[in-house]
A and B are shown apart, each in its own frame.
Chain A
Amino acid sequence: MLRFGMPPDWSLDGHRIDALIGLANGLVAFYFVVVVAALATMIVVFRRRPGRKVAYFDGSRRRDVWLATALSALVFVSVDVNLEVHADLDLHRHFWNFPKPEEALRVEIMPQQWAWNIRYPGPDGKFGTADDVVTLNDLRFPVGKPVLARLMSKDVIHSFTLPFYRVKVDANPGSMNEVWWQAEKPGTSEIACSQMCGWAHYKMRGTATAMEPADFDRWYAEAAAEARAGYDPKDTIAHWGWNWSSTGGDSSAGGETGKGTANVAPSPAASPLAIVPRCALASCRAL
């Protein structure tokens, strides 16, 4: 096992990122070696020696202009265009190609200093109901099914990071982001926070567990049953969450509209402007 490599990749699409990083490594290494080799050659060949005459030229000849043009074009095409094309194709075909909400497991993630609040809609498929499964720092999802997460921070900016799934997206207060991934094999890994969020930023750790679908369903049903048993309609603090109705997922209770624009990578199903936090300013006051 490589001691210094990237962390393992357990996701459907993460290998694309790894491959592109690999390509970038190769290109960068190539040009770095060229520069260093040139530098080393100059140092050895053109060091001062007695009687050495310098070659007096200032690079303004026509062929020097051609050299500069050709070289910069070569670098631009071989490196930049190359990387850009790969990145654009991957992003449009995969990372920005969001799953339909009804085909995905939907979760709401609301980080706060210094923990991850996580909410599932429960068996009824609707957020904001008695069977919502709510966990702290414990994110579970089944293997082989896309997970569609919406994130908004409660206080300061956090950055939701799943190193083993190549996922990273900021959770901002006041505006919502959306991200998706899919696990390819079961296993427990970690949620990290990538954005400095206060003195305990380094402790803002959660677990991300990919489970066999049957195991996940069992856990999900149990958790929902517990949630229903413990549901307290008067406990407003427990009822945070957002409106997913714009994506056809559910129509949440309350019907308040809130402030806050969502700048998210939009799924084809959703216009980003239609995503509105369920919690209006007035009702937030309770929090």
Chain B
Amino acid sequence: MVSETFAHGAEPRAALPVEIQPIHPPPASFWRRVVFSTDHKIIARQFLGFGLFFLLIGGVMALIIRWQLGAPGRPVPLIGEWTFPQNHGAVTPTGYAALFTMHGTIMIFFAITPILIGAFGNFLIPLLIGARDMAFPKLNMLSFWTQFVAGLVLIASYFVPLGPAMGGWTSYPPLSTTVGQPGPGETLWTLALFIAGTSSIMGAINYLTTIVRYRAPGMTYFRMPLTVWGLGLTAVLNALFVPVVASALLMLLLDRVAGTRFFAAGLSIQTAGDPIVYQHLFWIFGHPEVYILILPAWGIVSDLLAFFARKPAFGYRRTALSMTAITVLSAVVWGHHMFTVGMTPLLAEGFMTLTYLISIPSAILFLNWLMTLWGGAIRFQTPMLFAMGVVFVFGMGGLTGLHLATLETDIFLHDTYFVVGHFHLTMAAAVLLGSFAAIYFWYPKMFGRRMNETLGVIHFLGTIVPLVLVFGGMLILGYGGHPRRLYDPSQYAYLRHLMPLNRDISIAAGVLGAFQLVFVYNFFVSLLAGKKAGENPWELTTLEWTVASPPPHHNFDRIPLVLRGPHVLGRPDLTEKDWLGQAEPEPAAPLVAAAKPA
């Protein structure tokens, strides 16, 4: 090991990552290798499988919700008789409440979080910074299995008397106390989220420690791929704010099972708890949560745009710092979710102003993304298509946030489908497209084979078009004053003319769902029959592309010495190939110099 250090000629300080990461042989037993593995790459696959499974469930739930809104009271095709036997196969009002509650919960905490943060955070952080594993491999394993238990508890909540949670993913008390939901379903929901939160905190501690301590020699913070920046900032937010929601969930749990009355109030219950406190605690976490989901996607998109335009990212530092600024700001804007709760005017104006400030770093991000493409030689491969899709839908979603940040206009738009459209564009559509970009991009590294490009392009087109129609349509619904979470909107006379639009949105959602089958097919068939990927199928610079696909158990035979940032692409003096790896010595030039007789 000592010689390994000297081989780099690195500083003694930089030797740390080498010293603390001896090469362990891969475990021999099946259980330790595949199930209770501490290898970040295996854990990443476990998270990916877990997340995709729940994405499927959450997606089917979304389709049933849309079925009910498109054709209220009609039996759900295929599964209706099984899921709603008491109502001739049609969604019931309680079933509807359970559906959107579980859809939101599952998508956020059990699909997107495991895919983007659990799977890609795990897979990428060590590989991209040149480490052999996470700082705490056992904690990493525990993090996955904790999340797994949370998933089981959540699923179990569907099979208890009175059914699962029905208070929305926000689960506001008193509706979420026993006053509103006496059954055990809501208790299990609270418990599941609490457990999932524990898993997120474990992951966050691991990611942060790894990034701070395990960067390869020469991998300064400003040489890290922007993907790592995004994942790292997400870990900061998770570590700081999941505990806040955990405290709220714990109090809610005590209210439900121990007879405390933290959040219960009102004439019907005769106690003086304060339900508004829950809302504050929830949104202190809840607003950062949307950035928890989007920051990894931003990082990935920032890298992919540069990689596939074959030129450096424009304003790398400003991108990293803007993401950091947004991370900081995200901690102080939660009140914009509570404008109709009845805040004092000064407080509400304060939250409005702070929310507006996010425009500044966001504008810089968009400028950087677009300018990264300027002057490039863009390769329109599937990951790039999805990355550009993120820019598009996030543009739509981010801009519509202005209507909601503005106190006055939010009076009309709050809790309408405008909000549902807005947050799906940002946190569902953008994050989903970002996840797909990541899957198409790193699939070869993860599984050693490539996914089919043609099917990828079909999947992209079949996703982006209906996605924009679905969530754009929701913006229009909200503009018409359509409240969210309505089992049957046609109860209101002023919404009846919107029912055809509701139907059209549902059709688009069905198309969206159908095209996901292309992805499922491509994913599984490529596992077995995809083209062999080789080390570096995209011809890129970052460290993960210097090792085999899939990487060996210990990732790097020798910990690389990093010489430059992640985006040396298209440098004019490069002739043989248009890129220079992060740890690759300068080509020809020194040789030429040496050859010249002095």
* Chain B CB within 8 A of A251 CB: no
Contacts of A266 in B (CB 8 A): 344-345
A57 CA / B403 CA spacing, docked (Å): 36
Which residue on chain A has the smallest CB distance to residue B481?
Answer: A163
In the complex, what's the smallest C-beta–C-beta distance from B203 to chain A, in angstroms? 30
**How many B residues touch the partner, as a band?**
35 or more
A59→B371 contact, CB < 8 A = yes
Contacts of A229 in B (CB 8 A): none
Stretch at the interface among B244-252, B351-359, B506-514, B585-593: B351-359
Contacts of B498 in A (CB 8 A): 4
Within 8 A of B (CB), among A15-44: 16-17, 20-21, 24-25, 27-28, 31-32, 35-36, 38-39, 42-43
* Chain B CB within 8 A of A149 CB: no
In the complex, what's the smallest C-beta–C-beta distance from A28 to chain B, in angstroms? 4
A76→B363 contact, CB < 8 A = yes
Partner among A42, A68, A264 whose Cβ is within 8 Å of the Cβ of B373: A42
Query: In terms of DSSP, what is the predominant structure of the interface of chain A?
Result: mixed
* Chain A CB within 8 A of B192 CB: no
Contacts of A166 in B (CB 8 A): 411-412
Contacts of A81 in B (CB 8 A): 356
In the complex, what's the smallest C-beta–C-beta distance from B316 to chain A, in angstroms? 6
B267→A154 contact, CB < 8 A = yes
In the complex, what's the smallest C-beta–C-beta distance from A251 to chain B, in angstroms? 22
B492→A192 contact, CB < 8 A = yes
* Chain A CB within 8 A of B375 CB: yes
* Chain A CB within 8 A of B132 CB: no
Within 8 A of A (CB), among B485-538: 485-489, 491-494, 497-498, 501
Contacts of A64 in B (CB 8 A): 314-315, 371
With a 10 A CB-CB cut-off, give which of A57, A68, A190, A266 has the most chain B CB atoms: A68
Partner among A32, A38, A159, A202 whose Cβ is within 8 Å of the Cβ of B399: A32
A279 CA / B53 CA spacing, docked (Å): 51
In the complex, what's the smallest C-beta–C-beta distance from A284 to chain B, in angstroms? 5
A79 CA / B405 CA spacing, docked (Å): 12
Known contacts A91-B408, A174-B266; is-contact A79 B359 (Cβ 8 Å): yes
* Chain A CB within 8 A of B3 CB: no
Partner among B174, B353, B375 whose Cβ is within 8 Å of the Cβ of A57: B375
Contacts of A285 in B (CB 8 A): 270
Q: B251-275: contact bitstring with A at CB < 8 Å (1 yes, 0 no)?
A: 0000000000000011111101111
Known contacts A157-B174, A172-B342, A190-B492; is-contact A46 B483 (Cβ 8 Å): no
B479→A4 contact, CB < 8 A = yes
Q: B429-463: contact bitstring with A at CB < 8 Å (1 yes, 0 no)?
A: 00000000000000000000000000000000000
A195 CA / B468 CA spacing, docked (Å): 26
Q: B291-334: contact bitstring with A at CB < 8 Å (1 yes, 0 no)?
A: 00000000000000000011111111110000000000000000
In the complex, what's the smallest C-beta–C-beta distance from B278 to chain A, in angstroms? 10
B408→A3 contact, CB < 8 A = no
* Chain A CB within 8 A of B155 CB: no
B352→A84 contact, CB < 8 A = yes
A240 CA / B267 CA spacing, docked (Å): 9
* Chain B CB within 8 A of A238 CB: no
Contacts of A216 in B (CB 8 A): none
Within 8 A of A (CB), among B73-130: 93-94, 96-97
B315→A157 contact, CB < 8 A = no
* Chain B CB within 8 A of A214 CB: no
A197→B175 contact, CB < 8 A = yes
Partner among B340, B360, B391, B396 whose Cβ is within 8 Å of the Cβ of A168: B340
In the complex, what's the smallest C-beta–C-beta distance from B277 to chain A, in angstroms? 11
B491→A83 contact, CB < 8 A = no
Q: B396-434: contact bitstring with A at CB < 8 Å (1 yes, 0 no)?
A: 100110110111110111111000000000000000000
B180→A84 contact, CB < 8 A = no
Contacts of B501 in A (CB 8 A): 4
Stretch at the interface among A48-56, A121-129, A134-142, A220-228: A48-56
* Chain B CB within 8 A of A133 CB: no
A55→B408 contact, CB < 8 A = no
A172 CA / B343 CA spacing, docked (Å): 12
Which residue on chain B has the smallest CB distance to residue A193?
Answer: B483
* Chain B CB within 8 A of A167 CB: yes
Known contacts A59-B368, A272-B344; is-contact A46 B374 (Cβ 8 Å): yes
* Chain A CB within 8 A of B197 CB: no
B486→A20 contact, CB < 8 A = no
A20→B409 contact, CB < 8 A = yes
B374→A196 contact, CB < 8 A = no
Contacts of B316 in A (CB 8 A): 58-60
Partner among A202, A264, A265 whose Cβ is within 8 Å of the Cβ of B93: A202
* Chain A CB within 8 A of B168 CB: yes
Known contacts A197-B175, A199-B94, A201-B486; is-contact A112 B313 (Cβ 8 Å): no
Tally A residues with Cβ within 8 Å of B.
106
A154→B268 contact, CB < 8 A = yes
* Chain A CB within 8 A of B465 CB: no
In the complex, what's the smallest C-beta–C-beta distance from A208 to chain B, in angstroms? 11
In the complex, what's the smallest C-beta–C-beta distance from A133 to chain B, in angstroms? 20
B402→A28 contact, CB < 8 A = yes
B377→A194 contact, CB < 8 A = no
A20→B408 contact, CB < 8 A = yes
* Chain A CB within 8 A of B567 CB: yes
B172→A157 contact, CB < 8 A = yes
A263 CA / B360 CA spacing, docked (Å): 31
Q: A64-105: contact bitstring with B at CB < 8 Å (1 yes, 0 no)?
A: 110110011101100111011011101100011000000000
Contacts of A250 in B (CB 8 A): none
Known contacts A173-B275, A174-B265; is-contact A54 B375 (Cβ 8 Å): yes
Contacts of B269 in A (CB 8 A): 155, 173
A5 CA / B497 CA spacing, docked (Å): 11
Which residue on chain B has the smallest CB distance to residue A3?
Answer: B497
B97→A260 contact, CB < 8 A = no
A164→B494 contact, CB < 8 A = yes
A48→B378 contact, CB < 8 A = yes
B411→A167 contact, CB < 8 A = yes
In the complex, what's the smallest C-beta–C-beta distance from B477 to chain A, in angstroms? 9
B353→A260 contact, CB < 8 A = no
A287→B494 contact, CB < 8 A = no
A79→B273 contact, CB < 8 A = no
A161→B400 contact, CB < 8 A = no
Stretch at the interface among B5-13, B555-563, B568-576: B568-576
In the complex, what's the smallest C-beta–C-beta distance from B298 to chain A, in angstroms? 15
B409→A202 contact, CB < 8 A = no
A287→B268 contact, CB < 8 A = yes
A73 CA / B392 CA spacing, docked (Å): 22
B345→A75 contact, CB < 8 A = no
B175→A157 contact, CB < 8 A = yes
Q: Which 10 A-B pairs have the closest CB atoms?
A: A173-B266, A55-B375, A174-B265, A54-B570, A59-B314, A59-B315, A80-B356, A42-B373, A58-B312, A194-B415
Given contacts A164-B494, A195-B415, 6 further A-B contacts (CB under 8 A): A4-B476, A24-B409, A27-B402, A79-B359, A174-B273, A175-B276
12 contacts across the A-B interface (CB closer than 8 A): A6-B480, A35-B366, A43-B378, A58-B313, A58-B316, A68-B364, A76-B360, A79-B402, A80-B356, A84-B352, A174-B272, A174-B273
User: What is A's interface to B at a CB cutoff of 8 Å?
Assistant: 3-7, 16-17, 20-21, 24-25, 27-28, 31-32, 35-36, 38-39, 42-43, 46-49, 52-60, 64-65, 67-68, 71-73, 75-76, 79-81, 83-84, 86-88, 90-91, 95-96, 110, 112, 152-157, 159, 161, 163-164, 166-170, 172-175, 177, 189-190, 192-203, 205, 240, 259-260, 262-266, 272, 279, 281, 284-285, 287
User: What is B's interface to A at a CB cutoff of 8 Å?
Assistant: 93-94, 96-97, 166-168, 172, 174-175, 179-180, 265-270, 272-276, 309-318, 340-345, 349, 352-353, 356-357, 359-361, 363-364, 366-368, 370-371, 373-380, 388, 391-392, 395-396, 399-400, 402-403, 405-409, 411-416, 476, 479-481, 483-489, 491-494, 497-498, 501, 567, 569-572, 578
